[in-house]
Amino acid sequence: MSEQDLKQTYESLKEEIRYHNYRYHVQDDPVISDTEFDQKLKQLRVIEANHPDWVTPDSPTQRAGAVPLDKFEKIEHPAPILSLGNAFSEGDIRDWYERIARLDDRVRDADFTVEPKLDGLTVVLHYEDGNFSLGATRGNGEVGENITENLRTIKALPLRIPVSADGPTPPEVLVVRGEALIYKEAFEQLNQRLEAAGQKTYQNPRNTAAGSLRQLDSKSTAERPLTLLVYAIVHHQNGEIPHTQWETLEYLRDLGFPVAKTSSYCKNINDAVALCLNTDRDQFPYEIDGMVIKLNDLDLADSLGFVGKDPRGAMAYKFPAEEVTTQLNDIGINVGRTGVITPYAVLEPVEIGGVIVRQATLHNFDFISEKDIRIGDRVLVKRAGEVIPYVIGPIEDVRTGDEEKYTPPENCPSCGEPIVNPEGEVAYFCTNSACPAQLVRNLEHFASQGAMDIVGLGISTVQQLADANLVGDLADLFTLDKSELLDLEGFGDKKADNLLAAIEESKSQPLRRLITGLGIHGVGEVAAQDLAERYQDLNVLSQATKEEIEAIPGFGPNIADAIMEWFDNEENQQVLKKLKDNGVWPVENVKVEQGPQPLEGLTFVITGTLPNLTRSEAKNLIESNGGKVTGSVSGSTSYLVLGTDPGSKYEQAQKRNVPILSETDLKQLIEERTK
């Protein structure tokens, strides 16, 4: 590239970075991720390192933020509020250390602090005679915005220091730096409230915190769950302050300021590096995007000076990005085992946390509609740890007008059958049990231990049968012959005979097992048993009305609709006919109760994993003693049997004050009532 072209690239890059600085620091509405911004800034620094004569005072490398908003009063900071240089690897940290050690040998024997790099909005807090008098944003590092009244709404901010009688006496004038933020849990609760009220939800805690503090009406700010963490003294007059960063954090804490509990003291650079590299960002209750290494000796740090506007005495180690922006090229469709139709994003490939991501979850069709996500949008994508990447939402401000609104499909993309969306439910379904996209997973479920329990028919064998076109639906299992199986890889006489024997034996399974195996949406083992006891065979069940099904305890309109839709499907009717023709048509016998029935009249719900009993064994134990097991908590529930990792049933039981039993409690109850 010629010098002229490079200079043009340099000028364009500066303009681009200025724009993104403005979007991030002023508008609180970035259109690219932090990582993308960091890479652009890094590219600019490289050019300037090779052409120092090109650097001008208005270069983004020479400033910490962006111009303040006109709607707020301008506040000049008593000292520069600077940003930090970034490190992205252990090598970057070591390079920084060697650079400052060459400037001053004392660095070789220095100790350090390591603090979380908070992902919120930087604030500068002024105190006079211990009283909070002024609060400002960082702005451009020299001039910020007066947001005093909004900051007063943050309960974590001391309006007077010290907050306790035995605390230290602060200087007559004290200016501190901190970060306003929203805890993850509070952010989730805020979005839940907004969603319940039919209002637009927020994309991430950082933008929400920043936007809340820039409200003209402080009453709006007070409605947001903002908090604060303080980590530095910017300026003081007429008083003593500590000379080390670690003592500064303790001093600020003693004055009554909230300070991050996760800050650490490190006796040398090796300990500091190890701490940065081994920090799990998910352990923090708030969002962080890295760790900050600081020389503990503040006088030594100050003596090292600056590089541009970055102090040499500290360095920010940035974690791999969890959020990036990229292009949404298309929206694809997945068909699940139970027929659930789910959308997914087809993305322009992008790196997130060291992994190239090409697809991401779009949750459901309602999510696409609520967020107004369009094909061709630039979208914000998140991947945290091992979690499947998902789309947070679109960047609406960069739309060109060529984006296409998305409409959910009316027919299953695999089999062409109509898609249904039960009233009140988010999910869309294909009800065709012979749908090719569902076939393998349906067969696996049909043969599973909780359903027809066909020994030897695992996922790999099911896949073989489907790939060889030997089965097109569930009923085709009962028409297999030995010669077909012997043509499959890995099948000999014994394996073929064993599988055919297991299939034949499954014909004797009770009706409840067959109903479970059909894979009707919302019908698990408990519901299947209730249906079997009520209707005795599939002919009678197929003729049941919606009103009859809803009258069964624990059955609501959605499950009733799902059952009706399954039996109304012509493909499913063909499956039932083939099952009956092949002798798979169990009839439920009316139970004759024998022996003591100590749990008679009691209704139980089971949730979680019990220590010794499987869900089926616990259910059988209750029913053999006269009790009834249902799949949902209601006003008629007598007890909830609770195991580890319970679901929402536990919360429902608590709300209804339903008594809770452990597995041991259940057995004791049976014993006591038997006596």
What are the catalytic residues? 117
Q: What's the CA gap between 622 and 599, in Å, rounded?
A: 7
Cis peptide before 162 (omega within 30 of 0): yes
Cβ-contact 580, 631 below 8 angstroms: no
* Angle of the 663-674 helix axis to the 615-624 helix axis, nearest 10: 10
Q: Which residue has the tokens 């992902």?
A: 119
Q: Which residues have a Cβ under 8 Å from the Cβ of 562 and sit 6 or more positions away?
A: 422, 429, 431, 520, 521, 522, 523
What type of residue sits at position 396? E
Q: What's the CA gap between 372 and 386, in Å, rounded?
A: 27
Q: What's the CA gap between 474 and 285, in Å, rounded?
A: 48
Round the CA-based radius of gyration of the chain to a whole number and report it.
33
215 exposure class (CB count in 10 Å sphere: 0-12, 13-18, 19+): middle
Query: Which whole-number Å values give the CA distances from 42 to 5, 36, 187, 315, 505, in the listed order?
Result: 19, 10, 32, 15, 68
Coil, helix or strand for 94? helix
Q: Which residue has the tokens 């270069």?
A: 59
Q: Which residues pair with 428 in a beta bridge?
A: 341
Closest CA to 624 of 667, 661, 594, 660: 594
Q: Which residues have a Cβ under 8 Å from the Cβ of 565 and sit 6 or more positions away?
A: 420, 429, 431
Coil, helix or strand for 242? coil
Cβ-contact 378, 397 below 8 angstroms: no
Other beta carbons less than 10 A from residue 664's beta carbon? 11
* Helical H segments across 197-297, by residue range: 205-213, 218-222, 245-255, 269-277
Closest CA to 599 of 568, 565, 632, 639: 639
Q: Which residue has the tokens 């400052």?
A: 100
Cβ-contact 60, 14 below 8 angstroms: yes
HSE, CB side, 13 Å, CA atoms: give it for residue 493: 0
